[in-house]
Structure 1
Amino acid sequence: MTDMTVAPRRWIARLTAAAGLLVTVVALLIVPASPASAHAVLSRTSPAASSVVPSGPAEVVLTFSEAVRKVPGKIRVVAPDGSRADRGEPSFDGGVVTIPVDPSGERGTYLVSFRVISADSHPVSGAFTYSVGAPSAAPVDAGDDSRADPVVSTAVKVARFLGYAGLVLLVGPVLVLAALWPSRLSRRGPSRLAWTGLGLVAVATVADLWLQVPYTAGGGLFEVTGEGFSSVLGSTFGAAHLVRLGLLAASAFLLRPLLARPVGRADAIILAVLGGAALLTWPLAGHAAASPAPAVSVVVDAVHLGSMAVWLGGLLMLVVFLLRQADERELGAILPIWSRWAALAVSALLLGGIVQALIEVGNLEALFATTYGRLLLAKVGLFAVVIAVAAYSRQLVRRRTAAQRPVPVRRAVLVELVVTVVVLGLSATLVQTTPARTAVAEPSGTQAGFFTATLSSSLFTLQVELDPAERGNNSMHLYAYTKDNRPQPVVEWRATAALPSAGVEPIEVPLLPLTDNHAYGDINMPAAGDWQLKITVRTSDIDQATVTATVPIR
């Protein structure tokens, strides 16, 4: 192939990549701005929850702490006779949701159930009642199927992990082939690794888009409607993922020549710009875009993710290829350069992690009292192990023993790889976990912590959720399942809460059945301590069982 043939192809690849970048920039500019908060909280309703009004309202108004988006068909007002009392589609104006209601409805208790999407793409659901004229038996929302399937929740985490793994498999080979790869060695192995990484990122991105529909709307893995999918694609989450797919397609044109042979500086710069833009799509679709300082969080999160990909991807190339195939002279030149790169990546990881923690955790209490904080502590602990092993391997490089005796370095790098893969798994879980800053109560009255537990009996498994798990008013959700994780129909619910250490006798918790396996109740816990929840579930005329849980209230 002549240079005259190769040159036009290179220019076509560059123009295609530049066009992809231009489309991405335009898409980012037209994406609607995200509100600067996460996990919106229902702060006020009209009519007020549990209130009795003299006549039927023409509308029900839900006011959230931050702007929310619609989940199609998941906001309902149910009349005392079980029929739908809402009329037409609800309107959304920032954090205010207005539901048109038939004002001429019958007297009695009405049920309002809702499911909306917060700024960080996570669902927020709940229910409350109000009464017209006088209270009556609360109705059941037979159409409430909004609870996410456990398979969907697990699949979301798996997709996120595969996306991170693909990023590592892509970045490592590209970086090493572009700057450190000996010319005498074949590029076939690293090239296959890079294409596998690109494919994994693309598949994970498409899976994220698909899974976001049942995750936010509720339902099973294949319960995806056109309206739900359209809603996801029209959100910031959807736009970020579409932009990522476009950038991957544009990058593929430049990756092909780079993976086959060394390329010029212009191609490398364009590819680096495309890669940097693609990295931004991860934080733009998650907690970072909805943090109190979104611009800082997005940049820091992207640097954090990119540094992890460079470090882990480089380690993978070392242990799989270079330490096995390169000779002593080549390793003597490669390892010192890689050692400096690793040091820079680790420094960026540490700095990014500190800034991230300050923003997402907020205070020391949240670090130890929330699931997010504890996962972050586990991640830091594992990261410390990796740092120690990395320091040992770099010490070997500085002593110039790695080229002569690569086995110790290979073992150290392998340990780094294994532990860092676990860190990636924790990261995939963290992005699906409520940030600690919104899971611990603040003096201003923002959303506090959250208690959840799964209790087992001989008849059923019961998932208990208490929010905000602090002194004062708390909302309780109960979900009953069979032993094979199917919804368990419940005939009767009963629950009490007691605080023996403070002399508080069992308090009856009024429970409202929302579906045949889901009940909701409100309870006031006036004192701090380890409260004892006792829940009795009757599944038939003769079958019932009681389970207990200890809930720490602070």
Structure 2
Amino acid sequence: MRRVVAAVALLLVLLVCSAPSAAAHAYVISQSPSSGAELATSPAAVVVRFSEPVTLASGTATSVLASSGERVDTGSPVLDGDRLTIPLQRGLPKGVYVANWSVISADSHPVGGSLQFGVGVLTVAVAEPAAPQPSSLLQLINGVLKGLVYLGLSVALGAAIAARLLHVSWPRLWLAAGFLAAAIGSLLQIPVQYLWGASASQATWDGLLQSFGSDYAVTIYLRVALLALAWAVRRWLPVFAVVALLVVVTVVRNGHGGAEGGWIFVSTLAHATAATAWVGGLVVLGWAMLTRRLSVPQLRRLPAWSRYAGGAVAVIALTGVAQAVVQVRYPAALVHTTYGWVLIAKVVLVAVAGLFAILGNRWVRAHSRLPDRPAPGETSRLRRFARREAAIGAAIVIVSGVLSSVDPAQATYAPTTTQTLTAGPYTVSLRIAPARRGPVGFRVTATGAADATPLAQQVQLTLDQPGGAIRALPVEFTARIPGSIRSGQPVPITFVSSVVVLPDIGDWRAQLTVVASPTEQYSLATDFTAY
């Protein structure tokens, strides 16, 4: 038995220490050619660099298309850590081309992207390409499947431990059902995860088969093996508890917490472990212990359960707040992202569950010190509280599974910033979309104060990062578009930039110059925030 404990402890250390340290979600930090660029000659390849090492979503995860729809990429894309290279055919003729890619970031989420460039022509006549998006239906299925795995683990692991605490016999059929649900659901995650990631490009049989050898799949195989070990040692509570913790580690390792590493990994592990213990305990309480009138010894054990459940809920609350700060980051992202709204739904469910927990705790405090058994009908009151709290807890677990399949709010929050400024006789509208780290486009509209004001001929824009390393990052404007001509009214002139990559979040300063003529120029400076 000592050897088993030592082996399990060593495996726990290895799993925690091997959790990758990476950004929660990959984003582009450079691309060549830049989106919107006009090239004099045909490039040899499209090169995209990401913020972290990524993997290709499938064998058809990249493409470069001419305006006719014909593919002009050749051979296979080359992925070297965080650098993706898509080789192109030689001597591309004049025209506009759109490159697309779909990769998988460290948190197992698919990330799509696109850029367009012109060879010998401007690209402004072509709308900015939309990045390939994975299937929302498969994303939902993946999230619900994760939630069902979490429920299986609650019944198999959390309930088994709570039953020991409450000295209740936990039915073998329930226990086996929990283990089977967790194991089968885990194995189903492998093809569903692949199909979700590949849905942004095209799934293939070869890609599906290869997904069963991925790191994601290997972690799931380890989970299933640990579940089998937990079943074998279920009679030895200390060993069973450690193996159960290892199972939860494998769950966290394949999600947001595993991608982040460090304290976020530990926080996510504590959150998931506490939730498993809480929901599992409620299931035992509602469907095993409170099915008949409580005896005096059972009544005396309820305060211990209240402390156990209260501690679990406190851990859930504290770690949940910590993770929300990291994954949301910006208050406005709560109501402008899918992740934010799902998180709000989870918080509401937790609040409702807390109400039933308070009612149950009051019952326990009022009855646990009575000299005799509770009066007939009183046990059924506590059972109703426990079952309702358990049902809401199950809903919270499902919502948590969906939340883990949604891109974090801080990774998807992409507000558009528009500022109205003055540069000499010009009213300047500066539009930044999206105002976030990664590829960004700028649109400047300069309107004279009067019809006689000279038309803006060009604009010059550089970006500085106050207190940072970036100085005078140039923004190239590839198009000048005159507005409507109306008698007696100044004509607005709009300038559209090619895409520039902002490498960091935080405060930025834009230095803008409106050029009316070689001798007439007006400058201004303004600050904006990249999210």
TM-score (norm 2): 0.71
Secondary structure (helix, strand or coil) at the match of 2:218 reads helix
Q: Is the 8 A contact 1:361 1:373 kept in 2?
A: yes
Match in the other structure for 1:106: 93
Match in the other structure for 2:425: none
Query: More deviation in 294-303 or 466-475?
Result: 466-475
Match in the other structure for 1:287: 256
Which amino acid in structure 2 is aligned with residue 225 of structure 1? W
Which amino acid in structure 2 is aligned with residue 233 of structure 1? G
Q: How does 1:409-420 map to 2 (within 5 A)?
A: 409-420=382-393
Q: Is the 8 A contact 2:233 2:240 kept in 1?
A: yes
Match in the other structure for 1:481: none
Match in the other structure for 1:238: 217
Secondary structure (helix, strand or coil) at the match of 1:399 reads helix
Shift, 1:341, TM fit: 0.9
2:179 counterpart (198, 202, 206): 198
* 2:37 equivalent to 1:51: yes
- Measured in 1, the distance between the counterparts of 2:269 and 2:232 equals 23
**5+ long unaligned stretches in structure 2:** 417-431, 444-490, 500-530
* 2:278 equivalent to 1:311: yes
Secondary structure (helix, strand or coil) at the match of 1:315 reads helix
* 2:217 equivalent to 1:250: no
Structure 1 pair 377/164, CA: closer, same or farther in 2 (3 Å)?
Answer: same
User: CA deviation digits over 1:318-352, x for unaligned, max 9?
Assistant: 11111124642232232122112111112211221
- Measured in 2, the distance between the counterparts of 1:80 and 1:385 equals 54
- Measured in 1, the distance between the counterparts of 2:12 and 2:224 equals 10
Shift, 1:240, TM fit: 2.6
Match in the other structure for 1:462: none
Structure 1 pair 368/153, CA: closer, same or farther in 2 (3 Å)?
Answer: closer
Q: Is the 8 A contact 2:142 2:402 kept in 1?
A: no
Secondary structure (helix, strand or coil) at the match of 1:129 reads strand
User: CA deviation digits over 1:408-442, x for unaligned, max 9?
Assistant: 211211221222222223212211222122233xx
Secondary structure (helix, strand or coil) at the match of 1:240 reads helix
Structure 1 pair 23/277, CA: closer, same or farther in 2 (3 Å)?
Answer: closer
Shift, 1:372, TM fit: 1.9
Secondary structure (helix, strand or coil) at the match of 1:233 reads coil
Match in the other structure for 1:89: 76
Which amino acid in structure 2 is aligned with residue 273 of structure 1? V
Structure 1 pair 80/343, CA: closer, same or farther in 2 (3 Å)?
Answer: closer
Secondary structure (helix, strand or coil) at the match of 1:423 reads helix
Q: How many residues align?
A: 429
- Measured in 2, the distance between the counterparts of 1:115 and 1:250 equals 38
Query: More deviation in 359-368 or 18-27?
Result: 18-27
Secondary structure (helix, strand or coil) at the match of 1:73 reads coil
- Measured in 2, the distance between the counterparts of 1:469 and 1:425 equals 33
Secondary structure (helix, strand or coil) at the match of 2:31 reads strand
Q: Is the 8 A contact 1:41 1:65 kept in 2?
A: yes
Whose relative contact order is higher, 1 or 2, with alpha carbons under 8 Å and at least 6 apart?
A: 2
Shift, 1:213, TM fit: 0.9
Which amino acid in structure 2 is aligned with residue 133 of structure 1? G
Structure 1 pair 198/87, CA: closer, same or farther in 2 (3 Å)?
Answer: same
Structure 1 pair 163/54, CA: closer, same or farther in 2 (3 Å)?
Answer: same
Which amino acid in structure 1 is aligned with residue 174 of structure 2? L
- Measured in 2, the distance between the counterparts of 1:398 and 1:136 equals 72
Shift, 1:279, TM fit: 0.9
Q: Is the 8 A contact 1:88 1:100 kept in 2?
A: yes
Structure 1 pair 35/300, CA: closer, same or farther in 2 (3 Å)?
Answer: closer
Match in the other structure for 1:473: 441
* 2:166 equivalent to 1:180: yes
Match in the other structure for 1:366: 333
Match in the other structure for 1:376: 343
Match in the other structure for 1:525: none
* 2:410 equivalent to 1:424: no
Shift, 1:130, TM fit: 1.6
Which amino acid in structure 1 is aligned with residue 320 of structure 2? G
| Structure of larger gyration radius | 2
Shift, 1:113, TM fit: 1.2
User: CA deviation digits over 1:134-187, x for unaligned, max 9?
Assistant: 3599999xxx997544542332122112111111211243113433225xxxx4
Shift, 1:217, TM fit: 0.9
**5+ long unaligned stretches in structure 1:** 1-10, 259-266, 441-447, 451-465, 476-504, 511-520, 523-553
Structure 1 pair 321/285, CA: closer, same or farther in 2 (3 Å)?
Answer: same
Which amino acid in structure 2 is aligned with residue 114 of structure 1? W
Shift, 1:241, TM fit: 1.9
TM-score (norm 1): 0.68
Which amino acid in structure 2 is aligned with residue 406 of structure 1? T
Structure 1 pair 79/153, CA: closer, same or farther in 2 (3 Å)?
Answer: same
Aligned-pair identity (%): 28
Structure 1 pair 145/348, CA: closer, same or farther in 2 (3 Å)?
Answer: closer
- Measured in 2, the distance between the counterparts of 1:268 and 1:198 equals 16
- Superposition RMSD in Å: 3.9
Structure 1 pair 390/130, CA: closer, same or farther in 2 (3 Å)?
Answer: same
Structure 1 pair 18/89, CA: closer, same or farther in 2 (3 Å)?
Answer: farther
Which amino acid in structure 1 is aligned with residue 224 of structure 2? L
Which amino acid in structure 2 is aligned with residue 64 of structure 1? F
